[in-house]
Structure 1
C-alpha cells in the first residue's frame, strides 16, 4: 500500500546465466523506484549492505533478505509505523 519506496537489487558478482538475464531485465524496466546496482568489491555481506545503503535515496532503510516472503499487502506500512515511533 505504501508507494514512496525504492528497491535496490545488488549484483555482487552473479555468474549464473539465468540470474544475470533476470538482473538485466530488472535493470531495463527503467522505473525510478527499482535500480540494479553492480558491486565490484569483496564478497563481504556487510560491505555489500553498506554499498547499497550509500546508494539509497530514502529516509528509512530496510535490508530485506532474498529469501523473505511478503505475505501481507500492508507489510511496509506496518514496519514504517514502528520506525516512526518517537522512541525508536
Structure 2
C-alpha cells in the first residue's frame, strides 16, 4: 500500500501494472487472523481483543470499523483462505 501511495518510489518499478491502477479510496481492507485450535465459541473474545489492538491502525487509515476478522481453521477453509488439501 505504501508503494501505491508513492512512499517508496524505489520499489515502484516492481509493482505489477494492476497495483499501479488501484484507487485506494475504492479498496476495502480486511485484517484476517486465522487461529489453529479454537472453536467458534472461543472466537468472539479474540475478535474483541484484535479489534482493540488494531483500533489505532484502523482509525489512522480510515478503514471500516469492522475491518478485523478472526476465523478458526475450519472457517478459513470454508471461505477459501487456506489450503483445503493439507
> Given the two structures, how large is their TM-score scaled by the length of structure 2?
0.24
Which has more radius of gyration? 2
Greater share of residues in helix: 2
> Given the two structures, how large is their TM-score scaled by the length of structure 1?
0.24
